[in-house]
Chain A
Amino acid sequence: MAAKRILTVDDAESVRSLVSRTLGQAGYDIVEAVDGADALDKVAGGVDLVITDINMPGMGGLELLGRLRQRPDTRFTPVLVLTTESQSAMRRQAVAAGATGWIVKPFEPASLVALVRRFLS
């Protein structure tokens, strides 16, 4: 079976590489995007899960969520929000927009892998 493909969306290079390294070691195939618009270009290849930041220059995470939910090919793709936002109002907004899960930075590598496994098993 081919490795599951995960798209990680963050404007901070350090976070992208941290996510890539963590999930890459766990055997996933990782695609990186620097903002929502970049992510929309890159989901076209087909991804199994999206991990996105909320606050990004250009298109942010909430708008990306909305767009993903409108596309037939990504309507049911699990989307995890990985952000420094811990406000419950923002959380409710993300859930309403179709977020599957929410994890605040920083993340523990093992926890991220466990969380991703839950959605991809």
Chain B
Amino acid sequence: MAGPAPTSLAGRAAAPMDAAAVLFHDAPLAIYLRAPDGSFLEVNRAMAQLFGYDSPGQFLEAMAAFPDQHYLDPASRRAVLDELAATGFVTGRQYQAMGRDGFVLWVEESARLVDAGGDEHYYFGYLRDITAEKSTKWALTEAEEKYRAIFEHAVEGLFQMTPAGRFVTVNDALCAMLGFPAATALTDDPEAAARLFVDDGTRRGLTLALEEADMVRALDAELRRADGTRIWVSIHARAVRDGNGRVVLHEGSMVDVTERRLSQEQLRQSLARTSLLFHQTVTSLSKTVRYRDPYTAGHQDSVSRLATAMARRLGLSADEAAGIRVAGQLHDIGKIVVPVRYLCKPGRLVGLEWEFMRQHAQAGYEILKEIDFPWPVAAVVWAHHERLDGSGYPRGLSGPDIPLGARILAVADVLDAMASNRPYRPALGVAAALEELARHRGTGFDAAAVDAARSVIRDGLIRY
């Protein structure tokens, strides 16, 4: 409560002045004089204001009408008066009282008996408003209680431990997680935290990270439980420092992530198996043509390698390049519909023979189209003999209608065919192949794909 306003002495200069009365009325402490029966004889301004009255006169009037009204509990009024009567004084009696506006405050009352001479006695006393002190203390306990409730009821394991590895506080969730019956099993053992980590390097890493960065998030660690079984936890922690900046405590939480790690590991293994199975299947499919034409199987492997290298050189993603690798391995699969005598014919194909041979692109598409590859493998195989100027087959597509994968594959296919021995002629050589591609750069073949082929061969990524 605010103290009384200082009295303006200037206005009273002419009147005779009683120094004691001025002291009494202007003191910032609430002061009263009361009769042995408890009725108030006089109170100062601070006392009146403490209970919400404008003047001492108002206060005295109100108390005369209802003597105990500012004592919320009649027993506390009685207790003060009884003690005064018995011993002559009370000291630091604390209780709750109510002001005029319904505001209940905490006051501390002290009083003593004054002998005024003769048979005259009265009590002199003073009150201190201690509401703010009381409520602040209580607010602190309330906050502490809330914190403790959070700590005790948390689902996560919460801990505080010294950098040396001694647990200072742990909650029930942490005990349960680590298989200890009570918190003391962890806090009483100076080595408990140190023994917890399966890999001591993890603990040293944690200590070091907190020393340097003050905060560690989602650090996975393998821990030993009380019964020797192991679990994986994810640790969040922060460093608490003393006045000199020295780390004195690590505090944070641990969550059991054993299940998550197990399922992640299983998922990783299953993914690896599926991936292996996929590539084995593609390779087997690619080899089926070997029984009809040994040359084609090797050719598919080489084209696949060359086209993949070109795709990477063109800046395609690893995933897109993987799609081109598969399309390369399977691009001639349709040759199983071509009669063997045409495949192995030592001379040039003529007429109907050539018509048969051209069917392999369409047949490859028919064989592959039902497979749900994560890439457009069938479409690329279908178009790998198309040419930019529309002179290719089987559909005579041109320019942008030809998938990028097919444009890369077309260049790799021609280059490998010319650079290798064929049943009908010896190898023409890489230089001749590159010259031929350069002649049709931008007309028959994609310019960027031709450049990519030249550069991967120049850099020795693919050798002939």
A residues neighboring B (CB under 8 Å): 12-15, 83-86, 91, 95, 99-108, 110-111, 113-115
Contacts and interface: CB of A to CB of B under 8 A. Distances in A.
Contacts of B24: none
Contacts of B138: 84, 104-106
Contacts of B134: 104-106
Contacts of A103: 96, 103-104
A103 B105 CA distance: 7
Q: Secondary structure at chain B's binding surface: helix, strand, loop or mixed?
A: helix
Contacts of A106: 134-135, 137-138
A85 B103 CA distance: 12
25 contacts: A12-B142, A12-B146, A13-B149, A84-B136, A85-B135, A86-B135, A95-B101, A100-B102, A101-B98, A101-B102, A101-B103, A102-B103, A103-B96, A104-B105, A104-B106, A105-B134, A105-B142, A106-B138, A108-B73, A108-B76, A108-B96, A110-B73, A110-B75, A111-B76, A115-B72
Interface string B193-232: 0000000000000000000000000000000000000000
A86 B131 contact: yes
Interface string B95-112: 110100111111000000
Interface of B: 72-76, 95-96, 98, 101-106, 131-132, 134-139, 142, 145-146, 149
Contacts of B136: 84, 86
A106 B132 CA distance: 11
A111 B135 contact: no
Contacts of B106: 104
A53 to B, nearest CB: 9
A115 B142 contact: no
Residue from A95, A104, A108 having most chain B Cβ neighbours under 10 A:
A104
A105 B103 CA distance: 12
Nearest to B106: A104
A111 B142 contact: no
A80 B132 CA distance: 18
B165 to A, nearest CB: 35
Contacts of B74: 114
Contacts of B98: 101, 115
Contacts of A100: 102
10 nearest CB pairs, A to B: A101-B102, A103-B104, A111-B96, A84-B139, A110-B73, A111-B72, A104-B135, A105-B138, A114-B72, A84-B135
B145 A12 contact: yes
A55 B15 CA distance: 52
Given A101-B103, A111-B104, A84 B142 contact: yes
B102 to A, nearest CB: 4
Given A111-B76, A115-B104, 18 more contacts: A12-B146, A83-B135, A84-B139, A85-B135, A102-B103, A103-B96, A104-B106, A104-B135, A104-B138, A105-B139, A106-B137, A108-B72, A108-B95, A110-B73, A110-B75, A110-B76, A111-B104, A114-B74
A14 B134 CA distance: 17
A113 B149 CA distance: 28
A84 B149 CA distance: 19
B132 to A, nearest CB: 5
Contacts of B145: 12, 14
A103 B95 CA distance: 12
A47 B203 CA distance: 58
A96 to B, nearest CB: 12
Given A86-B131, A110-B76, A114-B73, A102 B95 contact: no
A15 B76 CA distance: 23
B72 A91 contact: no
A102 B96 contact: no
Contacts of B146: 12
A110 B75 CA distance: 8
Contacts of B102: 99-102
Contacts of A84: 135-136, 138-139, 142
A108 B98 CA distance: 12
A114 to B, nearest CB: 4
A12 B147 CA distance: 11
A69 B359 CA distance: 88
Contacts of A102: 102-104
A110 B98 CA distance: 13
Nearest to A119: B102
A101 B102 CA distance: 4
A89 to B, nearest CB: 12
A103 B142 CA distance: 16
A111 B73 contact: yes
A8 B101 CA distance: 21
Given A86-B131, A86-B135, A111 B103 contact: no
Nearest to B133: A86
A38 B187 CA distance: 40
Contacts of B105: 104
Contacts of A13: 149
Given A12-B146, A84-B142, A95-B101, A107 B96 contact: yes
